[in-house]
Structure 1
């Protein structure tokens, strides 16, 4: 895929505390030398926010879309629509990446996704990790990597995270985009891409650091998975 522009979409619901760190990490990744000559946009979707999420995003130069849906699927879809409008390139030449407001992408994250796009992958499905200091980090790793092959063989992992996902805009549009659901919109999109015959790469080559908080913003999301780990008490919390 010849990429002329890329956009990073970040949905956020009342994330004024964690969002600055997330956006600083995205900005660092956007300065990677591999992006030279490629237009890059950051789009924050402030969904049903009652705090300063939108103001925080604007202060660091992100384009902000405001909606009142309290719906991650609708928020991600709104961000992609804004990216298509703002980047001004054909969908065949636009790459969209998504992450979350409570996550920290590594400096090579955008370059990692861009490289795979240029190699012809229609979508790249990445992995997440927890901060090393979290008591949930090791229990998460053990469960999360249970199916990893021995040695250094590539891991065609089963996970899907909106915090570490990239896709070509044309492929996204062809399968109908993110559905407006309160959870599982990322998995639904990847399933649709696979069923649509698009090339989907699952790789753990560039994990994104995500929050170990147990009361996450998304219903039935990663926070509920963490709350169910034995080290967190073994039962999902409200």
Structure 2
């Protein structure tokens, strides 16, 4: 049974979008069965010169200032800080959830992760884009064609914007590697290689931004910039990270 929980959000220059993200995270935490004293939200303000940190503090989050300029290192720092806040030695009873600062999680996000945690060690969900207005016309339709959501009752994607993992499994495989992108895929690959149970539910999606100024080169936002927004023929499959 999960007794301690933390949500980690890496953020770089995110003063405009972070507040909405944290409100959605707060609603998801309130809809869970985890007691208030046993749950935490950690925002890693990575190389920020704007109001990211103050927005996070105003929302009641713990803030870690860093200068990594690296999303993998930021997630790793946030997870380490979260585990110290939870303060439990029984890591089997601790759950780490991660999302991104430009993302909104549904109200059932935490509750569903914890339901799956009864018989798995990690939960990997999907993403949807809430607003295509900043992209070339037709981008949404092209995205739907190249983003398979059902392959035999599961899906092939890995997104740091929609991921949860048992702290014992996370620690056993070494956590997020400090990669500039695909750190989420590397973590899930390591979990699967170590024999941990990874669940990929089809009905657990978050909504994220299609903004043309993505923060991590090689990640989801950069994929949209390089392909769907370029007017050319999209790639047949979407990168898993």
Tell whether the structures are fold-level matches, with TM greater than 0.5: yes
Consecutive unaligned residues of structure 1, counting only runs of 5 or more, are none
Shift of residue 143, structure 1, vs aligned partner: 0.8
1:144 alignment counterpart: 147
1:75 alignment counterpart: 74
1:66-106 CA-to-partner distances (Å, cap 9, x unmatched) read 11010111100111111110012221211000000000001
Q: Which of 188, 191, 196 is the matching residue for 1:190?
A: 188
- What are the within-5 Å matches in structure 2 for residues 203-214 of structure 1? 203-214=201-212
The size of the alignment, in residue pairs, is 229
**Alpha-carbon distance between aligned partners in 1 of 2:37 and 2:111, rounded to the nearest angstrom:** 11
1:181 alignment counterpart: 179
**Alpha-carbon distance between aligned partners in 2 of 1:223 and 1:132, rounded to the nearest angstrom:** 13
Shift of residue 137, structure 1, vs aligned partner: 2.7
Consecutive unaligned residues of structure 2, counting only runs of 5 or more, are 235-241
Shift of residue 133, structure 1, vs aligned partner: 5.5
Tell me the SS of whatever aligns to 1:229.
helix
Describe the shift of the 1:224–1:3 C-alpha distance in structure 2 as closer, same or farther (beyond 3 A): same
**Alpha-carbon distance between aligned partners in 2 of 1:183 and 1:133, rounded to the nearest angstrom:** 23
Describe the shift of the 1:49–1:133 C-alpha distance in structure 2 as closer, same or farther (beyond 3 A): closer
**Alpha-carbon distance between aligned partners in 1 of 2:7 and 2:121, rounded to the nearest angstrom:** 16
**Alpha-carbon distance between aligned partners in 1 of 2:228 and 2:54, rounded to the nearest angstrom:** 38
The alignment status of 1:98 with 2:98, answered yes or no, reads yes
Q: Which of 213, 216, 224 is the matching residue for 1:215?
A: 213
1:127 alignment counterpart: 126
Tell me the SS of whatever aligns to 1:213.
coil
Shift of residue 205, structure 1, vs aligned partner: 1.4
**Alpha-carbon distance between aligned partners in 1 of 2:147 and 2:217, rounded to the nearest angstrom:** 20
- Greater shift, 131-140 or 177-186, is seen at 131-140
8 A Cα contact 2:3 2:93, kept in partner: yes
1:37-68 CA-to-partner distances (Å, cap 9, x unmatched) read 78211000000111111111001100001110
**Alpha-carbon distance between aligned partners in 2 of 1:58 and 1:141, rounded to the nearest angstrom:** 36
**Alpha-carbon distance between aligned partners in 2 of 1:33 and 1:68, rounded to the nearest angstrom:** 33
8 A Cα contact 2:131 2:210, kept in partner: no
8 A Cα contact 1:124 1:203, kept in partner: yes
| Moved beyond 4 Å, runs of 4+ | 132-135
8 A Cα contact 1:100 1:162, kept in partner: yes
**Alpha-carbon distance between aligned partners in 2 of 1:82 and 1:235, rounded to the nearest angstrom:** 43
State the TM-score, normalized to the length of structure 2.
0.89
